[in-house]
Amino acid sequence: MNSSEEYSPGLEGVIGGETAISTITDGLSYRGYAVPELAEKGTFDDIAYLLLHGDLPSGGQRADFRKRVMATQQLPDALINLFRALPRETPPMDVLRTAVSVLAHYDPEAQELSPAASLRKAERLLGQIPVAIAAQWRIAHGLPAYTASPDLGHAASFLYLLRGKEASPDAVRALDVSLILYAEHEFNASTFTARVVCSTESDLHSCIVAAIGALKGRLHGGANEKVMDALRAAGGPSTAERWVRDALARKEKLMGFGHRVYKAGDVRAAVLTPYARRAAEAAGQLQWEETAAVIERVLAAEKNLHPNLDWPAGRLYHALGLEVPLYTPIFVMARVAGWSAHVIEQQGRNRLIRPRSRYIGPPRRAVPADPV
């Protein structure tokens, strides 16, 4: 087998392209800024601007950006009516995938493929997606949808849209940090999906719809929805060690641990864990943090497995009172900034992404004279 036919299952270790948006080398960074420092000092609005525009905003740029995004935080009546018509048990990720497709029909630049047009569409989706998530959730629960408040930042606005009242500063900050950490992560499965679609010269909305489909899978974005299932199954801190050892003996996969590219632990998990603990303290749910600590200790000692971002995120969202089916849609409202940045980058220096496969079927053979 020559070098051109070398095969890496899952494309592990394969360089699939170049990007100036983020890197995991020497710790995760966005556009050259270390992500832990961005999470400490910035807001999601700042980081979304950074990803889309290339650098952190000045005061005036931040205000203008927020004004542009807020101006888009309304949905066409047809989409609201669709939310009412859909079966109430439809998974929110499925509805969100459909919602982005519908929003394309009402975007005046939907078919424009230039990076400048895609940037404007990205800002619109950044504003529309949280509104769509909250509106659909409330309608599916027989509640009226709320109108976005122009005075609130991204995380605060989403919690208001979901509940109809402003959340505490601590809750807003915790959610905001999680959005920063989920906003971008190099050539992950959903981002690569978006770039593949973009490389065909398709439009931004199609790229985002495809990325949502990829993120829905439990090996990608859906992992955060399984965290509380594991903690509840473990029972509590006194029974957690026995539970996790039994799970390992059964060779069960524990969601929220391990990562294709982080072998010594996910820096994002380390950043979010204190927020998850503080939220649990405020909610009187420390038993789940203590249970999580036992599971982490056993997996590190027995399997050298460490938490990824989904592990503290699932616990944080539970402590904030968010329902499990909302966890991955929240991931979408953060990652749309990174996806869009990658689409715009791909458009700027495009080449159709078309890899080869290695054939493992039968050798060349003749068709019978009288085929069966």
Q: Tens digits of per-residue pLDDT, 295-311? A: 999 999 988 889 999 99
Instruction: Quote the CA–CA distance of 170 and 280 in Å, as a whole number.
Output: 12
Domains 18-219+324-348 and 224-319 share a fold: no
Residue 14 or 320, more confident: 320
How confident is the model at residue 27, as a pLDDT?
85
How confident is the model at residue 261, as a pLDDT?
66
Q: What is the pTM assigned to this prediction?
A: 0.93
Q: What is the pLDDT of residues 160-170, one digit of tens each?
A: 999 999 999 99
* Class of the CATH-defined domain 224-319: mainly alpha
Model confidence at 189, in pLDDT bands (50, 70, 90)? very high
How confident is the model at residue 230, as a pLDDT?
92
Nearest of 238, 225, 315 to residue 269 by alpha carbon: 315
From 45, 306, 310, 342, the catalytic residue: 310
What number is the average pLDDT over the span 342-369?
93
- For Cα atoms 321, 334, 24, give the angle at the middle one, nearest 5 degrees: 115
How confident is the model at residue 3, as a pLDDT?
47
Model confidence at 1, in pLDDT bands (50, 70, 90)? very low
How confident is the model at residue 225, as a pLDDT?
87
How confident is the model at residue 124, as a pLDDT?
97
- For Cα atoms 247, 317, 225, give the angle at the middle one, nearest 5 degrees: 40
What number is the average pLDDT over the span 184-212?
96
How confident is the model at residue 149, as a pLDDT?
86
User: CATH homologous superfamily of domain 18-219+324-348?
Assistant: Citrate Synthase, domain 1 (1.10.580.10)
Kindly list the domain boundaries of the chain, sorted by start residue.
Answer: 18-219+324-348, 224-319
Query: Taking 70 as the threshold, does the pLDDT of residue 260 lie above it?
Result: no
What number is the average pLDDT over the span 70-98?
96
Told to judge if 259 belongs to the known catalytic residues of this protein, a careful annotator would answer yes
Told to judge if 203 belongs to the known catalytic residues of this protein, a careful annotator would answer no
β-partners of residue 245 are none
From 154, 185, 205, 259, the catalytic residue: 259
Query: Taking 60 as the threshold, does the pLDDT of residue 2 lie above it?
Result: no
Contacts of residue 360, defined as CB under 8 A and 6 or more positions apart, other chains included, come to none
What number is the average pLDDT over the span 119-130?
97
Query: Taking 70 as the threshold, does the pLDDT of residue 264 lie above it?
Result: no
Model confidence at 93, in pLDDT bands (50, 70, 90)? very high
Residue type, position 207, single letter: C
How confident is the model at residue 237, as a pLDDT?
94
Which contacts (CB < 8 Å, 24+ apart) does range 55-62 have? 55/31
The average confidence (pLDDT) of the chain is 92
Which range, 3-17, 110-124, 142-156, 299-313, has the best average confidence (pLDDT)? Answer: 110-124
Model confidence at 139, in pLDDT bands (50, 70, 90)? very high
CA-CA-CA-CA dihedral for 232, 236, 241, 245, to nearest 10: -20
Q: What is the pLDDT of residues 308-343, one digit of tens each?
A: 999 999 999 999 999 999 999 999 999 999 999 999
Nearest of 22, 40, 30 to residue 271 by alpha carbon: 40
Query: Taking 80 as the threshold, does the pLDDT of residue 265 lie above it?
Result: no
Query: Taking 50 as the threshold, does the pLDDT of residue 210 lie above it?
Result: yes
How confident is the model at residue 15, as a pLDDT?
79
